[in-house]
Structure 1
């Protein structure tokens, strides 16, 4: 039994004759007769009483007709549900992130989407933390990847992503006395940072707020006298030219480390770290495409953490570690 036989059966019942059903379906009459005969053989009972006037349902046909209508309705409902699932998964998802996060996530995230999720379209915007927050509040983006310092409680729904370690970043310049003094260090205590000129953002940005928080909690005042544009790439050029040092996560500088252009020294005593979060607008319902993109972000973050590009600890718990499902698996979950 198949959906075509069910369709032919119900149209024949509705029209009262095989000839009329053939005209309705624009199919040759013998083709319908053959399919109905096959159906009756499979059911093991005659479904129609045939006469020169047309056809009428037998008692067995009446019973089968009720089941056939429900089966066709279930098939149509299943098709509609799957179509909605496909349409939702095929949407555009707009993701906003800070430049330091974009440095580690953008390229592998794009590659993952292009290779394994061709129905999704990813749009990435990068900017300072206050801009990312504003984009989410005004619905210019669907997902923000940002820091705990820049969360607006009540208007954002947040999920932890990774707790990243902060490092003192030093330009690898053999003629620099600071580099020579620090080149073999793997870690540095927070109070020691006060000995160096730092390139730091203002406390309007999430990183500036984090540095200020640690200054207050430790009682150690750092030196922020060096002119800094606030642009990450410009600041890193200054660091490589020996014009100051920066406090950054490994996500911002791993590529420069691999090229031997900078050294990153982990900050300890206290260990300096911060939480990276996935945020969505609390007043919006999430599309299946957005939900799927959040899972993809988690997967790519875990991959970059395993490669030591993003040093820190992945968030534990079912929400953070749930495996990425295939579209077919997601369809089964939705149908439950």
Structure 2
């Protein structure tokens, strides 16, 4: 017995004749008659009474028809679910993230998705934290990688990825008095930051909120007078040119540190850090494609942390994720 036989049987019953079923299915009558005869032979019972007026169900046919309807319903349901699964596996997943996160994740994430799920298409959008939040709220991205300072609990379902360390970042120049005074330092107290002109984003940005919270908790007022566009790459260029210092995570600067264009000094007393979260919109069901993308994101985060490109403490769920083969990663400069 197969689904074709069930389909022919049920449509013949519905139309009341083999001729009617042939017209409905656009199939020759002998083909339908043969399938029905094979079905009755396999079931070991006469299912249809045939006459010049058409067909009618026997008692065995009535019993079989009830089961046939259930079976066809299950088969059609399975087809729909499988089609949806295939569509999800071959679908597009839109991920929003901040430029600092994109700097350390984008290229390796694209490479890993291509390797592990080649039918998935990844679209990455980068922007300030408040933009990433708005994209998720409006359904313009499926997954957001953002900071705890920009969480809206009523909209977002969040899980931690990494608690990242924050650093004072300065340009490397022997002509700079600031660099000469700090070049051998591996850590710096938070209160000491008040001695330097800083390039900081406004209070609307998650980093601006973080800095303001540390100023409030420590009672240390920092200098925010330097002109800053709020664009990470522009700010880093200003730092390299000696126009100010920045407070940033290693994800934003590791490539410039490796090139010895910047120096990053860990901020301590108190240790300055923040939690990076993976967020989805709680009002939108998560499909299979997004679940696969989340698994890849966790593995890539674990990889770049292992490479010391993103310094901090992994969340337990990320730490236990199976790591991809470790290799040097290409990043945006």
Class of the TM-score when normalised by the shorter of the 2 chains: 0.7 to 0.9
- Quote the Cα distance in structure 1 between the aligned partners of 2:12 and 2:104: 63
Q: Which moves more between the two structures, 42-51 or 231-240?
A: 42-51
TM-score, normalised relative to structure 2: 0.78
- Quote the Cα distance in structure 2 between the aligned partners of 1:58 and 1:148: 68
Aligned to 2:159: 159
Q: CA deviation at 1:157?
A: 4.3
What secondary structure is seen at the aligned counterpart in 2 of 1:222? coil
- Quote the Cα distance in structure 1 between the aligned partners of 2:136 and 2:22: 57
Change (3 A) 1:229 1:22: closer
Aligned to 1:190: 190
- Quote the Cα distance in structure 1 between the aligned partners of 2:160 and 2:258: 28
Q: State the Cα deviation string for residues 61-112 of structure 1 (Å, max 9, x = none).
A: 3322221111011112222333445556666554433221222233334444
Aligned residues between the structures? 321
Q: State the Cα deviation string for residues 297-331 of structure 1 (Å, max 9, x = none).
A: 4444333333332222233359x9789xxxxxxxx
Q: State the Cα deviation string for residues 214-262 of structure 1 (Å, max 9, x = none).
A: 2332333434444433221122112223333221101111222233322
- Quote the Cα distance in structure 1 between the aligned partners of 2:89 and 2:211: 40
Aligned to 2:285: 286
Question: 2:277 aligned with 1:277, yes or no?
Answer: yes
Aligned to 2:12: 12
CA contact (8 A) 2:136 2:143 kept: yes
CA contact (8 A) 1:159 1:277 kept: yes
Question: 2:268 aligned with 1:251, yes or no?
Answer: no
Aligned to 1:26: 26
Q: Which moves more between the two structures, 17-26 or 255-264?
A: 17-26
CA contact (8 A) 1:166 1:267 kept: yes
TM-score, normalised relative to structure 1: 0.77
Q: 1:139-178 residue pairs with structure 2 within 5 A?
A: 140-178=140-178
Q: CA deviation at 1:202?
A: 3.1
Q: Which moves more between the two structures, 60-69 or 47-56?
A: 47-56
- Quote the Cα distance in structure 2 between the aligned partners of 1:17 and 1:219: 88
Q: 1:27-46 residue pairs with structure 2 within 5 A?
A: 27-46=27-46
CA contact (8 A) 2:299 2:321 kept: no
Change (3 A) 1:21 1:126: closer
CA contact (8 A) 1:88 1:287 kept: no
What secondary structure is seen at the aligned counterpart in 2 of 1:173? coil
Aligned to 1:201: 201
Q: Which moves more between the two structures, 202-211 or 286-295?
A: 286-295
What secondary structure is seen at the aligned counterpart in 1 of 2:21? helix
- Quote the Cα distance in structure 2 between the aligned partners of 1:56 and 1:139: 53
- Quote the Cα distance in structure 2 between the aligned partners of 1:54 and 1:154: 62
What secondary structure is seen at the aligned counterpart in 1 of 2:173? coil
What secondary structure is seen at the aligned counterpart in 2 of 1:247? strand
